[in-house]
Amino acid sequence: CLALEPTTTLLSPLLEDPVRASVLACNLPAGLATLGNFHYTSAKVGDRMTARVAPHTPLPVVLEAGEHTLPGQLADVSILGLGLMLSPPDAGQLRPNLSVNVSLTLPLELETPLRLAGTVRSVKPEGASQRVGIQFAPQTLPPMIHRYVRERQAEISCELKALYERRLVERR
């Protein structure tokens, strides 16, 4: 959140690469921020190439790996891939570079089931589950993923603004 961090990273199709900037001022109620000290940064934002969003409510997924069909939940999504949560016995069969298909339905106006091809990038323990990172196959990016990420980013922005405004009221 711009009000809490001294720097931010700007991602835009209008920019060649991500741009890092200092947060000079932030007025969340007005929806304004003043940034300075701009400079191009590496292609990564943290360990990610693009921003990811978590679903508002848990979304079921089905991961197909060879003859295995594994149920799980969507942890996050970006325009480049998905983060999934699977039970440890199921995820134990997965290895990096394994080709998989993921089926899910995003909560958009027209809830159309998606079947997305991808590659396992990582399998890591997280709490009682295993977090599985999937990178989409190059030809697999439906416009619905872009739309869902954009809409969730707007929702999250509104949630952060409401939280910030509540905290301002509580301080008075």
* pLDDT, tens only, 86-131: 988 878 789 999 999 999 998 876 677 889 999 999 999 998 999 9
Read off the pLDDT of residues 134-155 as tens digits, 9 standing for 90 and up: 999 877 667 788 888 888 888 8
Greater model confidence, 52 or 54: 54
- The number of CA neighbours under 13 Å toward the Cβ of 11 is 14
> Could you give the CA distance from residue 137 to residue 117 in angstroms, rounded to a whole number?
6
Output b/e per residue, 65-92; b: 16+ Cβ within 10 A: beeeebebebbbbbebbbbbbbeeebbe
Is the overall model pTM greater than 0.85, yes or no?
no
